[in-house]
Structure formats: C-alpha cells, structure tokens
Amino acid sequence: MYFVYILECEDGSFYTGSSPNPEERFKRHKAGTGSR
C-alpha cells in the first residue's frame, strides 16, 4: 500500500509525494535526500 503525503517546506511552498514507507521517506526528506 502506498501513502500520499504533503509537506510544507521552509519557504512556505508544498511538496507532495507518495511512498510505501512514509516514516522512512520523511527521515530522508529531513536529511535532505528525499526529493530529486
């Protein structure tokens, strides 16, 4: 099962994504390696 998520960036913009493992994906976003 995939989850869809919306993150608010520091500049106020939004990033949308999907992942089968949202906890791990969020950790990658926090580390700066989540988006391409």
- List the chain domain ranges: 1-36
Q: Is the pTM of this model over 0.75?
A: no
Residue 23 near residue 31 (C-beta atoms within 8 A): no
CB distance 6 to 14 below 8 Å = yes
The CA-based dihedral angle spanning residues 16, 21, 23, 26, taken in that order and rounded to the nearest 10 degrees:
-30
Per-residue pLDDT reduced to its tens digit, 6-28: 989 899 999 899 999 989 988 88
Q: Which residues contact 1 (CB under 8 A, 6 or more apart)?
A: 20
- Whether the per-residue pLDDT at 3 is higher than 90: the answer is yes
Beta strands in the chain (DSSP E): 3-8, 14-19
